[in-house]
Every structure is written in C-alpha cells, then in structure tokens.
Amino acid sequence: MVNFDYKSLVTEELGRAYVTTVKILNTAHLPQNDVLMRVKYSSVNYKDALSATGNKGVTKKFPHTPGIDAAGVVVRSKVESYKAGDEVIVSGYDLGMNTPGGFGQYINVPSEWVVPLPKGLTLKESMIIGTAGFTAGISTHRLTQLVKPHDGKIVVTGATGGVGSVAISLLSKLGYQVIAVSGKASEHDYLKKLGATEIISRNDFQVSDGKAVSSARFAGGIDTVGGVILENIIKSLHPLGAVTTCGSVSSTQLNISAFPFILRGISLIGISAQNYPFELRKVLWDLLSDNWKPTNLMEIYTEISLEEVDNALSDILQGKLKGRVIVNLGL
Ligand SMILES: NC(=O)c1ccc[n+]([C@@H]2O[C@H](COP(=O)([O-])OP(=O)(O)OC[C@H]3O[C@@H](n4cnc5c(N)ncnc54)[C@H](OP(=O)(O)O)[C@@H]3O)[C@@H](O)[C@H]2O)c1
C-alpha cells in the first residue's frame, strides 16, 4: 500500500502549555479506517480552538491534529460505496476531536462519517458552510417547524460569527424578519447585507432585568452564545415561541425560572451537529446545496493557509472572527 508524507497542524502538550505547529507526517500513522481522503479545504470552528488549547472535553490525547471539518477527494476506500476520485465531505462525529482532523492534508475515517459532495456545491463552498453553517442549518430546520414568518421577528445572537452569519442569511432567504445581536458596532453594514433588518448591541442585551418573564418581543431565536443573552431571549418570546441553543461562547450556565415555559408555552431546542444522524445529515446537505443555499456564501468567508490557522484559532477564542474562515490545504 502506498503511503504519503503530508503537511499537518499538530498540537502538542508541553507541560501545562499547548503548542500548535505545522509538521510533516506520514499516512502510515493515520488510523487505518475505511476511507483515506486527501483534504482540499477545511474550516475554522470554535471547537478546533478548544481542541488546540487542551480542552479535555474535546481532545483527550496529544499530540493531535484538530479540524472538525474536511472536504476533499477519496484516495482509496475499503468500501464499495466510495471509490478513488470521489469528492466528499466529512464533518462532525469524532473528526478533529480524538481522530486526526481536517488541519492535515490527509485523513482516514470510517465510511459512515463520509457524505458525498452534493451536486450544487463545490468543495470550497461546502467548507464555507462547514460545521458552523451546517449547525445554522439544523437550527433553522428545527426552528422553522415551530415558528413561521408571519409569527413575528427572529433574533440571532453571535450574529457576525460563523453560525450567526449563515443563520441570518438562511432565515432572511426563507422570508423571516431577522434581528441581529452583535458586539461589533463596525459590522452593521455586513449584517444588513446578510439580511438583518434590525441590530441590537450585545452590551444592551447582556443585562438581566431581574424579572421571571419580560415583555414579548420575539417569535423565535437562534442563540449561539448562551448565558444572560439566552435567558433574555427565553423571557422575551411570544406565546408558543421557540429558541434554539447550540453554543456557549458567553456562558454554559442558565439562570431562569420555569415561568416562560409554563406561562407562554415556549420551547428551548437543543442543537448538536456532532452526532446529527447520517440520513438527516445527507438531507440537510442536499437542502443547503439547493433551495437553502445561502445567497451570500461568497461574501462571508476568508481563505487562509495551514500556516495561518494557529492565529485564526486564537482570534476565534477572542470572538474576533467574522463570518467563516476556510483553510486551503494547498493540495
Ligand atoms: N452544538 C453544536 O453542534 C455546535 C456546532 C457549531 C458551533 N457550536 C458552538 O456555537 C458557538 C458559535 O460558534 P461559531 O462558529 O459561530 O463561533 P464564532 O464564529 O466565534 O462566533 C461567535 C460569535 O459570538 C459573539 N461573541 C463572542 N464573544 C462573546 C461573548 N463573550 N459574549 C457574547 N457573544 C460573544 C461574536 O459575535 P458578535 O461580535 O457579532 O456578537 C462572535 O463572532 C460556539 O460556542 C460553538 O462551539 C455548536
């Protein structure tokens, strides 16, 4: 069997510090799963930064190659469903957590993690969507089952981030009126271009009014940050409103009473992209490549090289990234 040397980002544990550098590895040392794939593009997600800074809830053993997203071409396959040359996507499951991830030019993964690239997307576009955009897709799918455009406004938090940007674009494409909550005063034009009709300053929305239930302002929400911001959305939903929660950039804690649920009948919907079932995953990728393909995909991304990923990982931890950052693996 032919093996290849390749470039990969590697995070090493040095005492209490975690150091991430580009190294040359060989495919002989990858896990020997069903599908060996040459990675053309990956993308930067919040979880990658957690992995590269030693968060043991994400990655237990180092040295390790992060990267929860990968799009590329099959090199060899042990299963009939994939053959050399097929263009494919892998996102979620254990990729980049404890399995070497998409910040390496090759990955070797179980075939059940592999999704054929849908016809309406290029490899690059699939990574502009990536896990963050896919999560926006799941959130939109779940929310729109309960809340319709005529019910009222939808609030999206972490608005300039990866999940937030795609969620705004998707919701406005589907006819919803979107209010963005953002900490970046300089990015209001960007948010309006994505489809937001109103913008609330994150500082103004991050204060609790101390009430169990607040006046009803939103029919629904897609929250990516948690904490007081999510508490405020829950307390401000219309009767039968709904909000999805996928992230905890601000806090993992929620301090709310049961009143919004039992007085207004609202729903809090948890979102997990990592283990989203395979059949539903394929359906959602197809939707995102077709009717739900975000209109402004080419305006929400920055492309970087493997050598620039470490800086992007520290930026995402500080909430500095805008939109999606994709990684060109240079193969
Ligand atoms: N459950 C899942 O399956 C799943 C999947 C993907 C992502 N996630 C999670 O979703 C979250 C967002 O991911 P992402 O890729 O969109 O990250 P991101 O690109 O870094 O976006 C996060 C955004 O949150 C806002 N923000 C930053 N610091 C904040 C703070 N201290 N308080 C409140 N808001 C803050 C910023 O937007 P503004 O400046 O515009 O406010 C930032 O751009 C992360 O926690 C990630 O782990 C979960």
* Structure tokens, 245: 């929660």
Residue having the nearest C-alpha atom to atom 19 of ligand 1: 161
pLDDT digits (tens, 9 = 90+) for 57-95: 999 999 999 999 999 999 999 999 999 999 999 999 999
Residue having the nearest C-alpha atom to atom 10 of ligand 1: 247
φ/ψ of 49, rounded to 5, equals: -70, -35
For position 147, what pLDDT does the model report?
A: 98
What Rg do the C-alpha atoms of the chain give, in angstroms? 20
Nearest-5° Cα angle at 238, 237 to 240 = 100
User: What is the value of pTM for the model shown?
Assistant: 0.97
CB 292 within 8 A of CB 167: no
Question: How does strand 154-157 pair with strand 218-223?
Answer: parallel
Ligand 1 atom index nearest CA of 226: 33
For position 1, what pLDDT does the model report?
A: 87
Q: How remote is the CA of residue 162 from the centroid of ligand 1, in Å?
A: 7
CB under 8 Å to 89, separation ≥6 — which residues? 70, 71, 114, 115, 116, 117, 123, 126, 285
CB under 8 Å to 325, separation ≥6 — which residues? 43, 44, 162, 301, 302, 303, 304, 312, 316
Strand, helix or coil at 102?
A: coil
Q: Report how far apart, in Å, the C-alpha atoms of 101 and of each of 51, 93, 166 are.
A: 11, 11, 23
Domain spanning 5-117+300-328, CATH class = alpha beta
* Structure tokens, 75: 């090199």
Ligand 1 atom index nearest CA of 157: 41
Buried b (16+ CB within 10 A) or exposed e, 201-213: ebeebbeeeeeeb
CB under 8 Å to 212, separation ≥6 — which residues? 235, 256, 257, 259, 260
DSSP H helices in the chain: 46-52, 123-146, 162-173, 188-194, 202-205, 227-235, 259-264, 278-288, 309-317
Q: How remote is the CA of residue 164 from the centroid of ligand 1, in Å?
A: 8
* Structure tokens, 328: 């060109």
Cα–Cα distance between 150 and 146 in angstroms, integer?
Answer: 12
For position 331, what pLDDT does the model report?
A: 80
Cα–Cα distance between 123 and 112 in angstroms, integer?
Answer: 19
* Structure tokens, 42: 């990956």
Ranges of the chain whose pLDDT falls below 70: none
Going from N- to C-terminal start, the domains of the chain cover 5-117+300-328, 132-270
Kindly state if the Cβ of 49 falls inside 6 Å of ligand 1. Answer: no
Question: How does strand 154-157 pair with strand 17-26?
Answer: unpaired
Domain spanning 132-270, CATH class = alpha beta
Nearest to 292 by CA among 121, 151, 149: 121
